[in-house]
Amino acid sequence: EIVMTQSPATLSVSPGERATLSCRASQSISSNLAWYQQKPGQAPRLLIYGASTRATGIPARFSGSGSGTEFTLTISSLQSEDFAVYYCQQYNNWPPITFGPGTKVDIK
Amino acid sequence: EVQLVESGGDLVQPGRSLRLSCAASGFTFDDYAMHWVRQAPGKGLEWVSGISWNSGSLAYAESLKGRFTISRDNAKSSLYLQMNSLRAEDTAFYYCARAEGPYTSLPIDYWGQGTLVTVSS
């Protein structure tokens, strides 16, 4: 089973600043990585798939990069609606699909 | 508009069974693989099970094998999860989720709002 780790666990950022979230896979997953955003009381929402492709309707301030074992989600200028928990997920080696533990982005 | 609506969550005693359902609409259900993903209150996401478009490929989280069974009825655009021998650690929100295409090895692109299963005496 591929283990996903994320850092940091919590990221405190001021509105308008850049946020950089990291995700690491325990073995290579090529570019088969997705990022999800989850707000309190809501279901997750797909942001990025294929490591760098934005999902439909996702603003351009969200970008993903990386391949192999190291991945990054960047939010270029945080808006108030971006404060949430972000999960990475690998779908390269299935089953199982595995998620990272999440990074909470909160207001500094 | 893609909609996934889960139902069947409830408070049940340990050892009992429960069947979750997910009604899909807004897309051609039998063109897509489906998953169940759960989330214990205040915790992260845990994949439970997945099924391909034609039920030809099924898989389960290793920790759940033998207790949970996933199925789908393409004629009814519905996904199911039969959960037996429930334990306290199965307490969670259970999300129905759609894969991006017919195979479960594709990313999840839509999620339902979840249904809460509480296992407690």
pLDDT tens profile A15-60: 999 999 999 999 999 999 999 999 999 999 999 999 999 999 999 9
Longest Cα–Cα distance in chain A: 39
Q: Which of B104, B107, B113 sits opposite A43 (nearest CB)?
A: B113
A49–B111 CB contact, under 8 Å: no
Chain A closest-CA separation from residue B64 CA (Å): 12
pLDDT surpassing 80 at residue B4: yes
What are the tens digits of pLDDT across the range A27-38? 999 999 999 999
Give just the sign of the alpha carbon dihedral B91, B46, A64, B24.
Answer: negative
* Separation of alpha carbons B11 and B22, rounded Å: 18
Contact A2, A95 (CB under 8 A): no
C-beta neighbour count of A31 within 10 angstroms:
16
Q: How many Cβ contacts (< 8 angstroms) between chains A and B? A: 64
DSSP code at position B105: T
Closest B-chain CA to A86? B44
Q: What is the pLDDT of residues B62-86, one digit of tens each?
A: 988 789 999 999 999 999 999 999 9
B64: left (phi over 0), alpha (psi -120 to 50) or beta: alpha
